[in-house]
Amino acid sequence: MGDSPRLGFRGVLLDWRGTLVVAPTYRWLARTALENLGRDASSGVVETVLDRLRSADSSRVDSSAIDTDVAEHRAAYLAWFAAAGLDDELAAALYAAESDAGRNPFATDVGDLLLALTSAGVRIGVVSDIHVDLRPVFAANSVGDERTWADLIDVWALSYELGVAKPDPAIFRFALDRLGMPAQDVLMVGDRGAWDGAAAAIGITTLVLPPLTDAREARLHRVLDLVLPGRAGA
Write the DSSP assignment of 160-223 as a string of letters: HHHT--TTSHHHHHHHHHHHT--GGGEEEEES-TTTGGGGGGGT-EEEEPPPP--TT---THHH
Which residues have CB under 8 Å from 117's CB, separation 6+? 12, 124, 152, 223, 224, 227, 228
> What's the pLDDT at 2?
47
In total, the chain counts a number of residues equal to 234
How many Cα atoms are found within 13 Å in the side-chain-facing hemisphere of 84?
24
The answer to whether residues 147 and 115 touch, using CB atoms and an 8 Å cutoff, is no
**pTM for this prediction:** 0.94
> What's the pLDDT at 7?
81
> What's the pLDDT at 1?
40
Each residue's pLDDT, cut to its tens digit, for the chain (234 residues) gives 445 556 899 999 999 999 999 999 999 999 999 999 999 999 999 999 999 999 999 999 999 999 999 999 999 999 999 999 999 999 999 999 999 999 999 999 999 999 999 999 999 999 999 999 999 999 999 998 899 999 999 999 999 999 999 999 999 999 999 999 999 999 999 999 999 999 999 999 999 999 999 999 999 999 999 999 977 555
Let me know the angle formed at the C-alpha of 208 by 20 and 50, rounded to the nearest 5 degrees: 65
Q: Is 76 helix (H, G, I), strand (E, B) or coil?
A: helix
> What's the pLDDT at 3?
54
Distance, CA of 155 to CA of 157 (rounded, Å): 6
The answer to whether residues 9 and 187 touch, using CB atoms and an 8 Å cutoff, is yes
Q: Is 24 helix (H, G, I), strand (E, B) or coil?
A: coil
> What's the pLDDT at 144?
85
Name the DSSP letter for residue 121: T
Distance, CA of 133 to CA of 222 (rounded, Å): 27
